[in-house]
Structure 1
Amino acid sequence: MPPEENADILESRLATLQQADEEAFMELLFRSFYQPLGNVIYRVVQDRTVAEDLVQDLFLKVWNNRGTLVITTTYKAYLYRAAMNTALHHLQKHKRQVAWDDARVPEPSRNATAEYLDGEEAELAVAGALEALPPQCRAVFVMSREEGMSYRQIAEALNVAPKTVENQMGKALRLLREQLSGFLSGMSMCVAMVFENIF
Protein backbone atom coordinates (compact mmCIF):
# COMPACT_ATOMS: atom_id res chain seq x y z
CA MET A 1 0.00 0.00 0.00
CA PRO A 2 1.44 3.42 -0.96
CA PRO A 3 2.42 5.71 1.94
CA GLU A 4 -0.31 8.21 0.96
CA GLU A 5 -2.98 5.54 1.47
CA ASN A 6 -1.49 4.57 4.83
CA ALA A 7 -1.51 8.23 5.84
CA ASP A 8 -5.15 8.59 4.74
CA ILE A 9 -6.12 5.48 6.71
CA LEU A 10 -4.33 6.80 9.79
CA GLU A 11 -6.03 10.19 9.48
CA SER A 12 -9.44 8.54 9.12
CA ARG A 13 -8.81 6.27 12.10
CA LEU A 14 -7.69 9.19 14.24
CA ALA A 15 -10.81 11.20 13.33
CA THR A 16 -13.03 8.27 14.29
CA LEU A 17 -11.20 7.61 17.55
CA GLN A 18 -11.20 11.28 18.54
CA GLN A 19 -15.00 11.13 18.61
CA ALA A 20 -15.41 7.61 20.01
CA ASP A 21 -12.50 6.81 22.35
CA GLU A 22 -10.26 9.63 23.56
CA GLU A 23 -7.70 7.34 25.21
CA ALA A 24 -7.33 5.17 22.10
CA PHE A 25 -7.11 8.37 20.04
CA MET A 26 -4.24 9.70 22.16
CA GLU A 27 -2.48 6.34 22.20
CA LEU A 28 -2.55 6.09 18.40
CA LEU A 29 -1.56 9.74 18.01
CA PHE A 30 1.36 9.21 20.40
CA ARG A 31 2.53 5.96 18.77
CA SER A 32 2.30 7.46 15.30
CA PHE A 33 3.87 10.87 15.86
CA TYR A 34 5.90 11.04 19.08
CA GLN A 35 9.21 9.86 17.62
CA PRO A 36 9.06 11.83 14.33
CA LEU A 37 8.02 15.02 16.12
CA GLY A 38 10.74 14.54 18.72
CA ASN A 39 13.31 14.15 15.96
CA VAL A 40 12.12 17.27 14.14
CA ILE A 41 12.13 19.34 17.31
CA TYR A 42 15.59 18.04 18.18
CA ARG A 43 16.97 19.04 14.79
CA VAL A 44 15.67 22.56 15.38
CA VAL A 45 16.66 23.07 19.05
CA GLN A 46 19.82 20.89 18.92
CA ASP A 47 19.30 19.56 22.46
CA ARG A 48 17.88 16.07 23.04
CA THR A 49 16.62 16.78 26.58
CA VAL A 50 14.89 19.98 25.54
CA ALA A 51 13.37 18.23 22.51
CA GLU A 52 11.99 15.45 24.74
CA ASP A 53 10.49 18.03 27.10
CA LEU A 54 8.96 20.02 24.25
CA VAL A 55 7.39 17.02 22.52
CA GLN A 56 5.99 15.78 25.85
CA ASP A 57 4.54 19.25 26.52
CA LEU A 58 3.01 19.21 23.05
CA PHE A 59 1.23 15.90 23.65
CA LEU A 60 0.16 17.05 27.12
CA LYS A 61 -1.45 20.14 25.56
CA VAL A 62 -3.24 17.95 23.01
CA TRP A 63 -4.47 15.68 25.83
CA ASN A 64 -5.65 18.61 27.96
CA ASN A 65 -7.51 20.10 24.97
CA ARG A 66 -8.77 16.81 23.52
CA GLY A 67 -12.41 17.65 24.18
CA THR A 68 -12.27 20.93 22.30
CA LEU A 69 -9.58 20.06 19.76
CA VAL A 70 -10.71 21.07 16.27
CA ILE A 71 -8.36 20.12 13.46
CA THR A 72 -9.04 21.80 10.13
CA THR A 73 -6.07 20.23 8.33
CA THR A 74 -4.64 16.74 8.82
CA TYR A 75 -3.51 15.52 12.21
CA LYS A 76 0.02 15.27 10.84
CA ALA A 77 0.01 18.86 9.58
CA TYR A 78 -1.51 20.10 12.84
CA LEU A 79 1.12 18.31 14.96
CA TYR A 80 4.05 19.36 12.78
CA ARG A 81 2.88 22.97 12.88
CA ALA A 82 2.53 22.77 16.66
CA ALA A 83 5.96 21.13 16.94
CA MET A 84 7.64 23.78 14.79
CA ASN A 85 5.90 26.59 16.66
CA THR A 86 6.97 25.03 19.96
CA ALA A 87 10.59 24.65 18.83
CA LEU A 88 10.80 28.12 17.31
CA HIS A 89 9.15 29.67 20.38
CA HIS A 90 11.69 27.89 22.59
CA LEU A 91 14.57 29.25 20.51
CA GLN A 92 13.13 32.74 20.58
CA LYS A 93 12.48 32.54 24.32
CA HIS A 94 16.00 31.38 25.06
CA LYS A 95 17.62 33.50 22.36
CA ARG A 96 19.61 30.55 21.12
CA GLN A 97 20.46 32.02 17.77
CA VAL A 98 23.91 30.78 16.78
CA ALA A 99 26.01 33.37 14.99
CA TRP A 100 27.86 32.21 11.91
CA ASP A 101 31.17 33.05 13.57
CA ASP A 102 30.32 30.95 16.63
CA ALA A 103 29.09 27.88 14.76
CA ARG A 104 30.93 24.73 15.77
CA VAL A 105 31.89 23.70 12.26
CA PRO A 106 35.41 22.30 12.12
CA GLU A 107 37.60 24.19 9.69
CA PRO A 108 39.71 22.05 7.40
CA SER A 109 43.42 22.67 7.90
CA ARG A 110 45.52 23.75 4.95
CA ASN A 111 46.99 20.30 4.48
CA ALA A 112 43.84 18.39 5.32
CA THR A 113 42.61 16.63 2.23
CA ALA A 114 39.45 14.72 1.58
CA GLU A 115 41.31 11.47 2.21
CA TYR A 116 41.80 12.47 5.86
CA LEU A 117 38.29 13.71 6.39
CA ASP A 118 36.31 10.77 7.70
CA GLY A 119 32.56 10.36 7.86
CA GLU A 120 32.37 11.41 11.50
CA GLU A 121 34.04 14.74 10.78
CA ALA A 122 31.68 15.26 7.86
CA GLU A 123 28.67 14.55 10.06
CA LEU A 124 29.97 17.03 12.65
CA ALA A 125 30.41 19.61 9.92
CA VAL A 126 26.85 19.08 8.71
CA ALA A 127 25.47 19.22 12.27
CA GLY A 128 27.32 22.46 12.94
CA ALA A 129 26.18 23.98 9.68
CA LEU A 130 22.57 22.99 10.40
CA GLU A 131 22.80 24.51 13.86
CA ALA A 132 24.01 27.76 12.33
CA LEU A 133 20.95 28.06 10.07
CA PRO A 134 18.23 30.51 11.08
CA PRO A 135 15.46 28.58 12.88
CA GLN A 136 12.87 28.87 10.08
CA CYS A 137 15.38 27.67 7.45
CA ARG A 138 16.44 24.82 9.72
CA ALA A 139 12.82 23.77 10.29
CA VAL A 140 12.06 23.75 6.56
CA PHE A 141 15.28 21.88 5.77
CA VAL A 142 14.65 19.21 8.42
CA MET A 143 11.04 18.68 7.38
CA SER A 144 12.02 18.37 3.71
CA ARG A 145 15.27 16.43 3.79
CA GLU A 146 14.91 14.38 6.96
CA GLU A 147 11.17 13.88 7.24
CA GLY A 148 10.58 13.62 3.49
CA MET A 149 7.73 16.13 3.46
CA SER A 150 6.78 17.95 0.27
CA TYR A 151 6.87 21.74 0.09
CA ARG A 152 3.07 21.74 0.12
CA GLN A 153 2.99 19.62 3.29
CA ILE A 154 5.59 21.83 4.97
CA ALA A 155 3.65 24.97 4.00
CA GLU A 156 0.51 23.46 5.48
CA ALA A 157 2.31 22.38 8.66
CA LEU A 158 3.96 25.77 9.18
CA ASN A 159 0.94 27.76 7.97
CA VAL A 160 2.96 29.62 5.34
CA ALA A 161 2.78 29.91 1.56
CA PRO A 162 4.48 27.18 -0.50
CA LYS A 163 6.62 29.91 -2.09
CA THR A 164 7.89 30.83 1.39
CA VAL A 165 8.91 27.21 1.94
CA GLU A 166 10.66 27.18 -1.44
CA ASN A 167 12.51 30.41 -0.60
CA GLN A 168 13.51 29.17 2.86
CA MET A 169 14.77 25.89 1.40
CA GLY A 170 16.79 27.75 -1.22
CA LYS A 171 18.26 29.95 1.49
CA ALA A 172 19.07 26.92 3.67
CA LEU A 173 20.82 25.11 0.83
CA ARG A 174 22.77 28.22 -0.13
CA LEU A 175 23.90 28.81 3.46
CA LEU A 176 24.81 25.15 3.92
CA ARG A 177 26.85 25.16 0.71
CA GLU A 178 28.68 28.29 1.85
CA GLN A 179 29.29 26.90 5.33
CA LEU A 180 30.48 23.53 4.03
CA SER A 181 32.40 24.77 0.98
CA GLY A 182 35.74 23.78 2.50
CA PHE A 183 34.52 20.23 2.88
CA LEU A 184 32.75 19.97 -0.44
CA SER A 185 35.70 20.85 -2.65
CA GLY A 186 37.86 17.88 -3.47
CA MET A 187 36.27 15.43 -1.07
CA SER A 188 36.66 11.70 -1.41
CA MET A 189 33.81 9.47 -2.54
CA CYS A 190 33.40 8.10 0.99
CA VAL A 191 32.82 11.53 2.47
CA ALA A 192 30.71 12.63 -0.48
CA MET A 193 28.16 9.98 0.44
CA VAL A 194 27.50 11.77 3.76
CA PHE A 195 26.52 14.92 1.87
CA GLU A 196 24.65 13.13 -0.93
CA ASN A 197 21.19 13.43 0.62
CA ILE A 198 21.64 17.06 1.63
CA PHE A 199 22.26 18.67 -1.72
Structure 2
Amino acid sequence: MTVDLATRTLIGHVVHGDQAAFAQLYRTYRTPALKFCLHLLKDRDEAENMVHDLFVKLWERRASINPDLNFNSFLFTCLRNLTFDYLKQVEKSQQFKQRYLERMETFRDEDTADEEARVQRLQTAIDGLSHRRKAILLLSIEEGKSYGEIAELLRISKNTVKNQLVKARQLLRDTVDVAIS
Protein backbone atom coordinates (compact mmCIF):
# COMPACT_ATOMS: atom_id res chain seq x y z
CA MET A 1 0.00 0.00 0.00
CA THR A 2 2.82 2.43 0.74
CA VAL A 3 4.14 1.93 -2.79
CA ASP A 4 0.72 2.80 -4.19
CA LEU A 5 0.50 5.84 -1.91
CA ALA A 6 4.03 6.90 -2.83
CA THR A 7 3.29 6.45 -6.52
CA ARG A 8 0.03 8.37 -6.22
CA THR A 9 1.80 11.18 -4.43
CA LEU A 10 4.55 11.23 -7.06
CA ILE A 11 1.98 11.27 -9.88
CA GLY A 12 0.09 14.05 -8.10
CA HIS A 13 3.24 16.18 -8.06
CA VAL A 14 3.84 15.43 -11.75
CA VAL A 15 0.28 16.44 -12.61
CA HIS A 16 0.93 19.80 -10.92
CA GLY A 17 4.10 20.35 -12.99
CA ASP A 18 6.81 19.27 -10.55
CA GLN A 19 9.83 18.53 -12.77
CA ALA A 20 11.80 16.82 -10.00
CA ALA A 21 8.87 14.45 -9.42
CA PHE A 22 8.71 13.77 -13.15
CA ALA A 23 12.46 13.01 -13.21
CA GLN A 24 11.91 10.54 -10.34
CA LEU A 25 8.98 8.96 -12.22
CA TYR A 26 11.17 8.63 -15.31
CA ARG A 27 14.03 7.02 -13.37
CA THR A 28 11.60 4.59 -11.75
CA TYR A 29 9.83 3.44 -14.91
CA ARG A 30 12.40 3.91 -17.69
CA THR A 31 14.16 0.53 -17.36
CA PRO A 32 11.02 -1.64 -17.10
CA ALA A 33 9.42 0.33 -19.93
CA LEU A 34 12.51 -0.11 -22.08
CA LYS A 35 12.61 -3.86 -21.42
CA PHE A 36 8.93 -4.12 -22.32
CA CYS A 37 9.38 -2.25 -25.62
CA LEU A 38 12.56 -4.11 -26.44
CA HIS A 39 10.75 -7.41 -25.93
CA LEU A 40 8.06 -6.36 -28.42
CA LEU A 41 10.20 -4.53 -30.99
CA LYS A 42 13.52 -6.39 -30.89
CA ASP A 43 15.18 -3.07 -31.76
CA ARG A 44 16.97 -1.24 -28.93
CA ASP A 45 17.17 2.15 -30.66
CA GLU A 46 13.50 2.13 -31.58
CA ALA A 47 12.54 0.95 -28.08
CA GLU A 48 14.52 3.79 -26.50
CA ASN A 49 12.92 6.29 -28.87
CA MET A 50 9.47 4.98 -28.04
CA VAL A 51 10.02 5.17 -24.27
CA HIS A 52 11.43 8.67 -24.62
CA ASP A 53 8.49 9.76 -26.79
CA LEU A 54 6.01 8.33 -24.31
CA PHE A 55 7.54 10.22 -21.40
CA VAL A 56 7.54 13.43 -23.44
CA LYS A 57 3.82 12.89 -24.14
CA LEU A 58 3.20 12.13 -20.47
CA TRP A 59 4.82 15.42 -19.48
CA GLU A 60 2.88 17.36 -22.12
CA ARG A 61 -0.43 15.76 -21.04
CA ARG A 62 0.35 15.49 -17.35
CA ALA A 63 -2.78 17.41 -16.39
CA SER A 64 -4.96 14.59 -17.75
CA ILE A 65 -3.25 11.84 -15.72
CA ASN A 66 -5.42 10.51 -12.88
CA PRO A 67 -3.20 9.79 -9.83
CA ASP A 68 -5.89 7.49 -8.37
CA LEU A 69 -5.65 5.02 -11.25
CA ASN A 70 -2.96 2.34 -11.57
CA PHE A 71 -0.10 4.23 -13.26
CA ASN A 72 1.80 1.02 -14.00
CA SER A 73 -1.12 -0.35 -16.04
CA PHE A 74 -1.62 3.02 -17.71
CA LEU A 75 2.05 3.32 -18.69
CA PHE A 76 2.37 -0.18 -20.13
CA THR A 77 -0.96 0.04 -21.95
CA CYS A 78 0.24 3.26 -23.59
CA LEU A 79 3.54 1.58 -24.53
CA ARG A 80 1.76 -1.45 -25.92
CA ASN A 81 -0.50 0.74 -28.04
CA LEU A 82 2.42 2.84 -29.30
CA THR A 83 4.35 -0.32 -30.14
CA PHE A 84 1.44 -1.88 -32.01
CA ASP A 85 0.84 1.37 -33.91
CA TYR A 86 4.52 1.47 -34.83
CA LEU A 87 4.48 -2.17 -36.00
CA LYS A 88 1.36 -1.51 -38.10
CA GLN A 89 3.09 1.49 -39.64
CA VAL A 90 6.19 -0.60 -40.42
CA GLU A 91 4.00 -3.29 -41.98
CA LYS A 92 2.17 -0.71 -44.11
CA SER A 93 5.49 0.76 -45.15
CA GLN A 94 6.76 -2.68 -46.16
CA GLN A 95 3.55 -3.37 -48.09
CA PHE A 96 3.87 -0.02 -49.84
CA LYS A 97 7.49 -0.77 -50.69
CA GLN A 98 6.53 -4.21 -52.01
CA ARG A 99 3.74 -2.76 -54.18
CA TYR A 100 6.15 -0.11 -55.47
CA LEU A 101 8.73 -2.76 -56.39
CA GLU A 102 6.05 -4.87 -58.09
CA ARG A 103 4.89 -1.87 -60.11
CA MET A 104 8.45 -1.03 -61.09
CA GLU A 105 8.94 -4.63 -62.21
CA THR A 106 5.74 -4.37 -64.28
CA PHE A 107 7.01 -1.16 -65.89
CA ARG A 108 10.37 -2.83 -66.52
CA ASP A 109 8.58 -5.78 -68.15
CA GLU A 110 6.53 -3.35 -70.28
CA ASP A 111 9.70 -1.46 -71.23
CA THR A 112 11.36 -4.76 -72.17
CA ALA A 113 8.32 -5.72 -74.25
CA ASP A 114 8.33 -2.29 -75.93
CA GLU A 115 12.06 -2.59 -76.61
CA GLU A 116 11.62 -6.08 -78.06
CA ALA A 117 8.83 -4.83 -80.35
CA ARG A 118 11.00 -1.91 -81.39
CA VAL A 119 13.94 -4.20 -82.18
CA GLN A 120 11.63 -6.45 -84.17
CA ARG A 121 10.33 -3.47 -86.18
CA LEU A 122 13.90 -2.35 -86.76
CA GLN A 123 14.97 -5.82 -87.95
CA THR A 124 11.98 -5.99 -90.30
CA ALA A 125 12.84 -2.56 -91.70
CA ILE A 126 16.51 -3.56 -92.19
CA ASP A 127 15.43 -6.75 -93.94
CA GLY A 128 13.31 -4.60 -96.26
CA LEU A 129 16.32 -2.59 -97.48
CA SER A 130 17.92 -3.36 -100.82
CA HIS A 131 20.79 -5.83 -100.70
CA ARG A 132 23.48 -3.18 -101.28
CA ARG A 133 21.98 -0.64 -98.83
CA LYS A 134 21.59 -3.34 -96.16
CA ALA A 135 25.21 -4.47 -96.62
CA ILE A 136 26.50 -0.89 -96.30
CA LEU A 137 24.39 -0.24 -93.20
CA LEU A 138 25.48 -3.46 -91.46
CA LEU A 139 29.15 -2.86 -92.25
CA SER A 140 28.83 0.62 -90.78
CA ILE A 141 26.78 -0.21 -87.69
CA GLU A 142 27.69 -3.78 -86.75
CA GLU A 143 31.33 -3.77 -87.80
CA GLY A 144 32.05 -0.07 -87.25
CA LYS A 145 33.68 0.33 -90.68
CA SER A 146 34.42 3.79 -92.06
CA TYR A 147 33.12 5.11 -95.39
CA GLY A 148 36.52 4.43 -96.96
CA GLU A 149 36.71 0.84 -95.66
CA ILE A 150 33.17 0.08 -96.86
CA ALA A 151 33.90 1.65 -100.26
CA GLU A 152 37.03 -0.45 -100.62
CA LEU A 153 35.30 -3.70 -99.55
CA LEU A 154 32.33 -3.21 -101.89
CA ARG A 155 34.36 -1.51 -104.66
CA ILE A 156 32.17 1.59 -104.73
CA SER A 157 32.89 5.26 -104.09
CA LYS A 158 32.88 6.87 -100.62
CA ASN A 159 30.17 9.18 -101.88
CA THR A 160 27.95 6.21 -102.75
CA VAL A 161 28.54 4.75 -99.28
CA LYS A 162 27.62 8.07 -97.66
CA ASN A 163 24.48 8.53 -99.77
CA GLN A 164 23.32 4.95 -99.19
CA LEU A 165 23.82 5.27 -95.41
CA VAL A 166 21.94 8.57 -95.28
CA LYS A 167 19.04 7.02 -97.22
CA ALA A 168 19.04 3.82 -95.13
CA ARG A 169 19.04 5.73 -91.85
CA GLN A 170 16.28 8.04 -93.02
CA LEU A 171 14.17 5.08 -94.11
CA LEU A 172 14.71 3.38 -90.75
CA ARG A 173 13.83 6.58 -88.86
CA ASP A 174 10.66 6.95 -90.88
CA THR A 175 9.73 3.28 -90.60
CA VAL A 176 10.71 2.48 -87.02
CA ASP A 177 11.02 5.93 -85.45
CA VAL A 178 14.52 5.03 -84.29
CA ALA A 179 17.57 7.21 -84.73
CA ILE A 180 20.44 5.04 -85.94
CA SER A 181 23.83 6.49 -85.18
Q: Scaled by the length of structure 1, what TM-score is found?
A: 0.41
Q: Scaled by the length of structure 2, what TM-score is found?
A: 0.45
More helix by share: 2
Bigger relative CO (Cα 8 Å, ≥ 6 apart): 1
State which structure, 1 or 2, has the greater radius of gyration over its C-alpha atoms: 2
